[in-house]
Structures are given as C-alpha cells and as structure tokens.
Amino acid sequence: MKPTSGEILFENHLWARKDLNDIGALIENPAIYPNLTAMENLNVACTLRGLPKPRVEEVLNIIGLEKSGKKKVKNFSMGMKQRLGIGMALIHNPKLLILDEPTNGLDPIGIEELRELIKTFPQKGITVILSSHILSEVAQVADEIGIISNGIIGYNGKINQDDNLEKLFMEIIKRNRGEN
C-alpha cells in the first residue's frame, strides 16, 4: 500500500525496504509447514535467509521448543505453533518484532507462556510492537501503549499498573467518533 500521508522512521532514518532485514512479524497465524518439525521449519527459514544453521538451536531455546524433537508441527498445540511462529519471526535476529493478536485462540497456560516469552525480548535488544484488542493482556506485557481510532493516534504514552486501559480506550474511541 502507498501511504496517504506521514512517514515512518526506523533507526533514526526514513524507513526503506532494506529495513525489513531488521523486522520480524507474526500476523495472527504463523506461516509454518505442518508436515515438518519445529527444527525443520526453522531450517527452511534459515535457508531462505542465508543464515547459519546454529541459529536454529538458539531460537528453539528462546521459544522453549528445544525438546519438541521429531514431533510434526501438525501435532503441536496452538501455543506451540504460536511460539514457533515467533521463532520464525526471530530467526534473523530482528531489532523490531511485530506481533498481531499473538494470544488468539490460546488456552490460559499458552497465554501465560507466550506472555512470559514476550517479556524477555526487550532484554535481548528487541523492541516489540503488540497489536491486540485484549486490553488486559496488553496491560500485562506493555510499557507504553498507543491507541489508534479512525486512523488517528488518540493516545500514546507509558502505562501504569493502576491505569484502566478499557476506560482510556473507550474515551479515545468516543472522542475520535465525536461522541463527547
């Protein structure tokens, strides 16, 4: 899509296509081969990007799938598939990771595991942009939030544990709809 206005800054410069080398993304469902193992899927990603194979073992450890062995992805739980999808997005060691609704369809254990995984990324030098409508989930993993309504950033700032994100969200939505 071509932008209608504005600009994107990445690493203190105008975004360019080459910046995709520093960006990983998981948009809803991971693009994985169900008939392969986690290791085989990550090997495919390494081959496509021309990356060394030792990165596969490292990523398997990061996402907690180092013991998945010969189990085919089609037999993975939804949470395991999501973690593998994140692993695919991490394989090239990006500086920015974009996650869209990463906890969609997960059970409470899978949600907790994914939440804890996401919280580790900033210590690894990875900035995470998380898009979600589940505001209670956002509150548990985010340091800063942005609320977009009708294409307008209605709020951008740090959040505190005491903040009521649902109330803030509804205020922003109503304001941008002219319902005040």
Tokens of 162: 């005491």
pLDDT reported for residue 76:
94
Q: How many domains does the chain have?
A: 1
Q: Rounded mean pLDDT of 9-28?
A: 91
- The 10 Å Cβ neighbour count of residue 164 is 11
- The 10 Å Cβ neighbour count of residue 110 is 18
Q: 56 falls in which pLDDT band (50, 70, 90)?
A: very high
Cα–Cα distance for residue pair 33/47, rounded to 1 Å: 14
Query: What CATH number should be reported for the domain holding residue 77?
Result: 3.40.50.300
In this predicted model, what pLDDT tens digit does every residue of 61-99 receive, in sequence order?
998 899 998 999 999 988 899 899 999 999 999 999 999
- pLDDT higher at 124 or 180: 124
pLDDT reported for residue 160:
77
Question: Is 147 a member of any domain?
Answer: no
Q: 31 falls in which pLDDT band (50, 70, 90)?
A: confident
In this predicted model, what pLDDT tens digit does every residue of 109-161 receive, in sequence order?
888 888 898 999 999 999 999 998 888 888 888 889 888 887 788 888 898 77
Question: Is 69 a member of any domain?
Answer: yes
Q: Which range marks the domain in which residue 111 is found?
A: 9-142
Question: Is 103 a member of any domain?
Answer: yes
Q: Rounded mean pLDDT of 157-166?
A: 82
Cα–Cα distance for residue pair 77/83, rounded to 1 Å: 10
pLDDT reported for residue 41:
96
Specify the pTM.
Answer: 0.85
Question: Is 114 a member of any domain?
Answer: yes
pLDDT reported for residue 38:
96
DSSP secondary structure string for all residues of 122-170: GGGT-EEEEE-S-HHHHHHH-SEEEEEETTEEEEEEE--TT--HHHHHH
DSSP secondary structure string for all residues of 21-71: GGEEEEESS----TTSBHHHHHHHHHHHHT--THHHHHHHHHHT-TT-TT-
* Consecutive H or E run containing 117: helix 108-120
Question: Is 149 a member of any domain?
Answer: no
Question: Is 160 a member of any domain?
Answer: no
pLDDT reported for residue 180:
60
